[in-house]
Amino acid sequence: MLDSKKKFFVHDSSFVDENCRIGTNTKIWHFSHIMGGSYIGDNCNIGQNVVISPDVVIGNNVKIQNNVSVYTGVTCEDNVFLGPSVVFTNILNPRSLISRKNEFRKTLLMEGASIGANATIICGVTIGKFALIGAGSVITKDIKNYSLVYGNPGKNKGWVSEHGEKLEFDSNLHAQCKLSKDRYKLINDTVHKL
């Protein structure tokens, strides 16, 4: 159902709790639950069977594929992509009989980061701008901007452009994206867009 006052779409099988902010042109598909206190920006696509927990922040133009639970403590900046069945945690040592809600660790996905299907993001990390995390990876530490990371545990295997193309650096540590022609420089093991 399109809410003509709020200008976003929520499928009839989904639930949106009170005290949520959902942006213009955002679409929330089948069997999803947006919990109170969460913030979702404009032009987002929330797939089937997605849970957005209380106080989660989702930026603009974020794509969340099916079967993802985004737990309290997670922030996704603009243009983040979460592949199918991505897993987040928010506590390092969970126990059913001990409440640890005051111990939730913050996880930040910076602008343009993309997380492949079935990847697991252990809480308390920052994933840098335009980083690309391979399917099935387990992320246990901070990831630098433009990193190409995969494996268990996830390790840096190279660098990618904002378009997701692998960057090949020359002897002067310069690279050019094949698609956009944008140029990048590797300085002290960190990629910078020129």
Per-residue pLDDT, 58: 98
Q: CA-based angle 59:182:126, to the nearest 5?
A: 35
Give the domain CATH number at 42: 2.160.10.10
Total of domains in the chain = 1
Would you say residue 185 lies in a domain? no
- CA–CA gap between residue 38 and residue 52 (Å, rounded): 7
DSSP states of the chain:
-EETTTTEEE-TT-EE-SS-EE-TT-EE-TT-EE-TT-EE-TT-EE-TT-EE-TT-EE-TT-EE-SS-EE-TTEEE-TT-EE-TT-EE-S-SS-BTTB--GGGPPPEEE-TT-EE-TT-EE-SS-EE-TT-EEPTT-EE-S-B-TTEEEETTTTEEEEEB-TTSPBP---TTSEEE-TTT--EEEEETTEEEE-
Would you say residue 172 lies in a domain? no
Question: In this predicted model, what pLDDT tens digit does every residue of 84-94 receive, in sequence order?
Answer: 999 999 999 98
Would you say residue 131 lies in a domain? yes
Question: In this predicted model, what pLDDT tens digit does every residue of 148-166 receive, in sequence order?
Answer: 999 999 999 999 999 999 9
Would you say residue 191 lies in a domain? no
Would you say residue 33 lies in a domain? yes
Would you say residue 116 lies in a domain? yes
Kindly indicate the confidence band of residue 101, based on its pLDDT and cuts at 50, 70 and 90: confident
- Supply the range of the domain harboring residue 70: 2-167
For the segment 120-131, the average pLDDT, to the nearest whole number, is 98
Would you say residue 87 lies in a domain? yes
Task: State which amino acid sits at residue 169.
Answer: F
Would you say residue 140 lies in a domain? yes
Question: In this predicted model, what pLDDT tens digit does every residue of 55-67 receive, in sequence order?
Answer: 999 999 999 999 9
This model's pTM is above 0.75: yes
Per-residue pLDDT, 32: 98
Per-residue pLDDT, 27: 97
Question: In this predicted model, what pLDDT tens digit does every residue of 167-193 receive, in sequence order?
Answer: 999 999 999 999 999 999 999 999 999
Kindly indicate the confidence band of residue 2, based on its pLDDT and cuts at 50, 70 and 90: very low
Question: In this predicted model, what pLDDT tens digit does every residue of 10-55 receive, in sequence order?
Answer: 999 999 999 999 999 999 999 999 999 999 999 999 999 999 999 9
Cβ burial of 5 (10 Å; 0-12, 13-18, 19+) is exposed
